[in-house]
Amino acid sequence: MIETVSTARAFGGTQHVLRHHSTTTGTGMVFSAFVPDHAEGKRLPVLWYLSGLTCTHANATDKGEYRRACAEQRVIFIAPDTSPRGDGVPDVPEWDFGQGAGFYLDATEQPWAGHFRMRTYIEQELPALIAEHLPVDMTRQGIAGHSMGGHGALTVALRNPERFRSVSAFAPIVSPLRCPWGEKALTGYLGPDRNTWRAYDATALIQDGARVPELLVDQGDADGFLHEQLKPWLLEKACRAAGIPVTLRMQPGYDHSYYFISTFMADHIAWHGERLRN
């Protein structure tokens, strides 16, 4: 069952914030959904947007500036949370691990394994819920994300290529095996066996044979995390070797914030819209 937290009219559509109990995470989960106006019985393509470290559904919903473009492209926009939350959900004081840092994986290490199952939530439970309750055409799905959510978008799409017609990312963590954020998260959630990490690393998935039709990535060249954490050139190299068309746009002067994301969000939505129509 879905509970409505709020609704608001915007750009000829309705912005919903919704809550439900997740059997996957064992917690309440909140997500937002922008639905453009449409004829009764009409089903629209859907774009999933996965947020980054420390974020909830609200970061993109409040600062993403996607509604006008989604209304023009006739695309539903879904923004989930980044992790389970609430009483009884384990956490740590650090901002880059625990609540707000689910890394879109299914944890196997304790105490995380009981609740931190964001891979199954994003890949299975939430899509089934959306298909039941919103006017989505599940044959026309795209996925995008930012930072940790860019990692999520890339890896979810690479593991489920039959599901997504389009994939893009803003400043993604392209190789958690080769950056401090990723090494911390994957060790903590999955344990020390690096072979088990490969299912959650876009470059490793590509090296292991996973494919998508093409990728669009925007990256600010003034992003303070660029060289230590993000390393988009590793994704570009893996794609070139695998024959995956990739457009990596280095944006001069842009940082890691929603000022950057909101600047190029309409470009991404138009890019997805073209592929979701065809």
pLDDT at 65 over 90: yes
Domain limits at 97?
2-276
Strand, coil or helix: 190: helix
Per-residue pLDDT averaged across 220-231, rounded?
98
Please tell me the total count of domains within the chain: 1
Please tell me the distance from the alpha carbon of residue 152 to that of residue 160, in angstroms, as a whole number. Answer: 12
% of residues, the chain, pLDDT over 90: 99
Report, as residue numbers or ranges, the catalytic residues. Answer: 147, 223, 256
pLDDT at 1 over 90: no
Please tell me the distance from the alpha carbon of residue 251 to that of residue 95, in angstroms, as a whole number. Answer: 27
The tokens describing 118, both together, are: 């964001």
**Confidence band (pLDDT; 50, 70, 90) for 229?**
very high
**What was the pLDDT predicted at 278?**
78
Q: Is the C-alpha dihedral spanning 214, 48, 109, 100 positive or negative?
A: positive
Question: Of 205, 269, 193, nearest to 238 (Cα)?
Answer: 205
* Phi, psi at 6, each rounded to 5°: -165, 160
pTM for this predicted structure: 0.97
3-state secondary structure 43-107: CEEEEEEECCCCCCHHHHHHHCCCHHHHHHHCCEEEECCCCCCCCCCCCCCCCCCECCECCCCEC
Starting at the edge strand found earlier in the chain, the sheet holding 13-21 runs 2-10, 13-21, 28-36, 76-79, 44-50, 136-145, 164-170, 215-220, 246-251
Q: What is the mean pLDDT of the chain?
A: 98
Q: Give 129-148 pLDDT, tens digit per residue.
A: 999 999 999 999 999 999 99
Identify the CATH number of the domain in which residue 180 sits: 3.40.50.1820
**Confidence band (pLDDT; 50, 70, 90) for 22?**
very high
**Confidence band (pLDDT; 50, 70, 90) for 206?**
very high
Contact 158, 152 (CB under 8 A): no
Which helix (H) or strand (E) element contains residue 269?
helix 258-277
* Cα angle 106-213-255, degrees, rounded to a multiple of 5: 70
Please tell me the distance from the alpha carbon of residue 78 to that of residue 174, in angstroms, as a whole number. Answer: 22
Q: Give 87-124 pLDDT, tens digit per residue.
A: 999 999 999 999 999 999 999 999 999 999 999 999 99
